[in-house]
Structure 1
C-alpha cells in the first residue's frame, strides 16, 4: 500500500504546474502583439478566472520516474479525475485517482488489487481517518489537489529575463512561445505583489504551497516556457529544473477550460476504506 500512496503523491504533484487555456484553432492571434513581460502577466491574470479544465501531461519527476497521463479538474466545487502511467525502477503501470467529497480514491493498479483481496480501489477519507491516524492530506499526496494549476503560471511574471521565442502551433492552436528563468527568491517576490494580496487571498496561498513544494524537491531555480494563445490564455506550459533527486521536466498541454467536470466515486463493493482497515487493525 505504501507504494500505491507514493504513486498518488506523484500524480497529485503534477497538478502543480502551468496556466490553463486553449483558444481558437483557426488563424493567428487577433490581438496586437504585446511585450513579453506584459503578455505573460496578462495570461497569469486570466488564469485566476478559470474554474475547471482538462489537460494532458508528460515528463519526469525527480526520484519517481517518467509519467504520462490525462486529467480533469473542477476547482469549485473541488473534484478531480486523473489517469496516468508511471514508469520507474519499482513501478510500471497505470493508476487512476479520483478526488470527490473530501475523499481520495486510488485504483486501476493490478498489483494493488491483489493486495486488497480483489478490491480495485482504496479510499482515503481524511475526515474519517482523523488527526490521530498520523496521516494528513499532504502525506497522502492530496494536499496539492485543491490547488488551481494556474497558480504556477504566474511565477514566470517574476522572471527578469522573459523573452519571446517565436510563434508555434500547439494542438492546432496558434500560440506565441515565451521563455524565462526564475529562482525561488523570485517566486517569493511575486507573493509581495500588493494587487495579489488585495485581489485573491486564495491565489496567494496556492502559490505559497507551490513554492514550499519546490523547496522540498531541492530546486533553486527553474526554466519556464509558456505558449500563449490569441485569447491571452496559456495553451501549454513547461517547467524544468535540477532537483536533489534528479531533473524535473514537466510539460502540460491544456485541452479545454471552464467546462463541466463530473467525477463519481467508485462502487462501494469495489472499494477498500482505509479508515475501516485501520480500525479493524486496532481492534485486532
Structure 2
C-alpha cells in the first residue's frame, strides 16, 4: 500500500498540472479550421502565415477579438510558456501544445512547493493526450519503491468528475475540447472590451486589449457567442468559485493571440496567470509512457480509501484554478 505522502504528492501535482493545461488551452469548442490530428501523432497547423486581421481601427474591440478567436483556433498548435501565481506558491511551464483534437503535447513544469513539502526536485514532466494526462514528478527513490518502481501517474479525464465534482467535469471539458482562446471568449462575453493600444510581446508588434468580467456581466450581448457558449462559460466560472476576473490579451498584426494574462478572485483566494504563444503551427508529438512504468491515479485512490487530506489541499488555490485564465 502506498503512503499518504505519495497520494498527497499525486493529488497536488494533479491540481497543478490541470491548472497548467487549462491555462494553456482552456475549454471551449473551436469553430476554426479543419483537419484534426489523432492522439499521439504529430500535428501541424493548416495555416502557417494567416492573412492580417481586419484593422482594429475598422471594427469594434469586440469585433476584432472575434476575428482573433477564429484565426488563433485555426492554427492548431503553438509553443507555450506560462506562469501561475497563487497564495500558496508559483507554477511555471513551457512546451509545444496542439489543440487539433483535444489537448496534446508535452510540457516541463516547475513547482517549487513540491520540493519544499514533499521532497522532490520541484520538476514535473507532463504529457497531455486527448483522453488522459501523465506525470512524472521526479519522486525520491523511496516513493518510487512504494509505487512498485513506477515513475508515472496516469490521470484519465473520465475520472476527473468522480474525483473532483463539478470542477473536475469542467476541467475534463476544457482538456478534451481544448482551445487557447477561452480568455478571449470571456472578454467578448463581457461586452466590455477596451483597446489599450500598440505594444509588443518579445519584440513582436501587438495590440493590447483589456476587460473586466463578473458573472452578472456575462451576457454575450453584441458578440458572436451562442447562448450555449455563454452558459458554458458561466458554469465554468461558477464551478471554480470565480467571482470576478480581469483579462489582458495581446494580439499580433495577423490576428493571432501572443499573450494572455488574468487576475481572478476565487473561493480559494486570488490567482494570477499568464501565457505567451509563439511558433504557431509547430509540429507536436506526444506519446503515453510505457504501461509498466505507469500507475493509474483513480485506482490508487480506490485501493487506499481516499486521499486523506483533500484533493490538492494546500497547493494551488483549488482544482479549478487553471481554467479561469484560459
Q: 1:99 aligns with which of 128, 136, 148?
A: 128
* 1:73 aligns to 2:97 (yes or no): yes
- C-alpha separation in 2, matches of 1:122 and 1:221: 34
2:226 paired with 1:197:
yes
Query: How is 1:1-284 mapped onto 2 (pairs within 5 angstroms)?
Result: 1-17=7-23, 32-34=55-57, 35-61=60-86, 64-78=88-102, 79-88=104-113, 90=117, 93-100=122-129, 102-111=131-140, 113=144, 115-125=146-156, 135=163, 139=168, 143=172, 144-146=174-176, 147-187=178-218, 189-190=219-220, 195-197=224-226, 204=229, 210-274=233-297
Q: Please report the TM-score for the alignment, with normalisation by the length of structure 2.
A: 0.67
Structure 2: give runs of 5+ residues left out of the alignment.
Answer: 1-6, 27-44, 306-326
RMSD: 3.7
- Decide which structure has greater strand share: 1
- Supply the distance in 2 between the matched residues of 1:242 and 1:278 (Cα, whole angstroms): 30
Question: Is residue 124–residue 137 contact of structure 2 (8 Å, CA) maintained in 1?
Answer: yes
CA positional deviation for 1:11: 1.9
Taking the aligned partners of 2:301 and 2:56, their CA distance within structure 1 comes to: 58
CA distance in 1 between partners of 2:111 and 2:75 (Å): 28
Q: 1:221 to 1:281 in 2, by over 3 A?
A: closer
Instruction: Report deviation, 1:253.
Output: 0.2
Counterpart Cα distance in 1 of 2:68 and 2:23: 14
Aligned length: 265
| C-alpha displacement of 1:57 | 0.2
Q: Secondary structure at the match of 1:90?
A: helix
Cα shift at 1:94: 1.3
